[in-house]
């Protein structure tokens, strides 16, 4: 995600682009800008992150859990 300072006095020259943070967005021809959204105040971003195999966390399912309750 990049940012550029704008001088509101001169309105002629934008500043030098600078990187805010790495988004890990997939940039391909034909990809829309629907991979992220900006809050109305412009202070926060909601970014879709690609799911990787290493990102999955196992879960434990306990069947017949009521039999484990004390009677």
Sort residue 53 into left (φ over 0), alpha (ψ -120 to 50) or beta. alpha
Q: What is the pLDDT along the chain (71 residues), one digit of tens a residue?
A: 888 888 788 777 788 999 988 887 777 766 666 788 889 998 898 888 766 666 667 889 999 999 988 76
Q: What Rg, from alpha-carbon coordinates, does the chain have?
A: 23
Q: With respect to residue 45, please indicate whether it lies within any of the assigned structural domains.
A: yes
Residue 47 lies in domain: 23-53
- Predicted confidence at residue 30, as pLDDT, reads 64
Q: How many domains does the chain have?
A: 1
Strand locations in 1-71, DSSP E? 2-3, 18-19, 36-38, 45-47
Helix (H, G, I), strand (E, B) or coil at 45: strand
């Amino acid at each position: 995600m990049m940012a550029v300072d704008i001088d509101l006095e001169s309105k002629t020259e934008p500043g030098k682009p600078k990187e805010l943070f790495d988004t890990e967005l997939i940039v391909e021809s034909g990809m829309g800008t629907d991979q992220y959204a900006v809050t109305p105040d412009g202070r926060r971003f909601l970014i879709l992150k690609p799911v990787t195999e290493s990102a999955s966390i196992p879960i434990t399912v306990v069947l017949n859990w009521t039999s484990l309750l004390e009677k």
